[in-house]
A and B are shown apart, each in its own frame.
Chain A
Amino acid sequence: GQNIDQPTEMTATEGAIVQINCTYQTSGFNGLFWYQQHAGEAPTFLSYNVLDGLEEKGRFSSFLSRSKGYSYLLLKELQMKDSASYLCAVMDSNYQLIWGAGTKLIIKP
């Protein structure tokens, strides 16, 4: 079956760096997405990786290793507003999105 694994919850300190991991097993691969979702709100797009390597976008970076079925989202200079759930989603060979359950990130002052 198809599966996406990410930690359920993580805690970090304001100003620090946190890495949220995502491992996947899917039927084919057409890209991996990261979304941010604040409680009770819509997910918003953060990043897309389809080739191996690191994509940097401001304070957020996303890394992909297709051979290892692994990605991470790196958040630097954490701010209180970064408290949210972070969703990992993989597009399979049929262009269907498989979603992880999300990682709830708690930022402490």
Chain B
Amino acid sequence: DGGITQSPKYLFRKEGQNVTLSCEQNLNHDAMYWYRQDPGQGLRLIYYSQIVNDFQKGDIAEGYSVSREKKESFPLTVTSAQKNPTAFYLCASNDRENSPLHFGNGTRLTVT
């Protein structure tokens, strides 16, 4: 079955450390997205990529970085510059602009 795989499901890091969240899809979708979800707030877009080797900043890109070297993969690095990194991170993809998003199961990152 096609889908999006995020790993790990839970991640714990010490303050000051960079951490990379994995996102892989086998849906053959061109576009991929990273969202952050915090209690009481809507999903906020961190970065998105519409094609390999190209990506754009979303609304809250500061302290994050991404790469898109392969169509299937869109890893997100949470750097030590991100002031409040503890959150639930969701990766998503779709095949055209106004089609529904397919989401991975998320990674819950806790930084202490």
Number of A-B contacts (CB under 8 A): 49
**Chain B residues close to A by CB (< 8 Å):** 40-45, 88, 90, 97-98, 100-106, 108
Report the minimal beta-carbon distance from A68 to chain B, rounded to whole angstroms: 21
Across the interface, name the chain A residue whose C-beta is closest to B33: A97
Report the minimal beta-carbon distance from A48 to chain B, rounded to whole angstroms: 6
For the residues of B in contact with A, the DSSP-based class is: loop
Q: Is the CB of A43 within 8 A of B45?
A: no
Contacts of B43 in A (CB 8 A): 43, 87, 89, 97, 99
- Name, among A43, A98, A102, the residue most crowded by chain B CB atoms within 10 Å (CB to CB): A43
Interface hits, A25-45 → B, CB 8 Å = 30-31, 33, 40-45
Report the minimal beta-carbon distance from A63 to chain B, rounded to whole angstroms: 18
With A101-B40, A101-B41 known as contacts, the answer to whether A42 contacts B98 (CB < 8 A) is no
Bound together, the chains give a CA A92 to CA B3 distance in angstroms of 26
- Name, among A95, A99, A100, the residue most crowded by chain B CB atoms within 10 Å (CB to CB): A99
Report the minimal beta-carbon distance from B41 to chain A, rounded to whole angstroms: 6
Partner of B98, one of A4, A40, A95, A100: A95
